[in-house]
Amino acid sequence: MNKLKRLAGQVGQGTVEYVALILLVALVMAGVVAAMKGYKTDGGKDLGDAIVGKIKDAVGKVQF
């Protein structure tokens, strides 16, 4: 019975870790885009547009 209670406490833990990992990656990408915009080139805009496009494609593929 004790083992069952421990397993019940773990429900949803993987989802929380997965969301935290996604937020960390998004934060790093936002930092890269912000750093690229500081330069005098359009590389930051191109990179930002590419990232936003890929995110929109991924969100469009999600099925509920």
What's the average pLDDT block by block, 10 residues per block, for the chain (64 residues)?
59 77 87 72 72 84 72
Report the pLDDT value the prediction gives residue 61, as an integer from 0 to 100.
82
Amino acid letter for position 20:
A
pLDDT the model gives residue 30: 82
The predicted pLDDT at position 42 comes to 63
The string of DSSP codes covering 5-56 is HHHHTTTTHHHHHHHHHHHHHHHHHHHHHHHHHTSSSSHHHHHHHHHHHHHH
Residues in the chain: 64
pLDDT score recorded for residue 10: 62
The amino acid present at 23, given as its one-letter code, is L
- What distances in angstroms separate CA 27 from CA 4, 40, 59, one per listed residue? 37, 23, 18
> Looking at residue 20, what is its pLDDT?
86
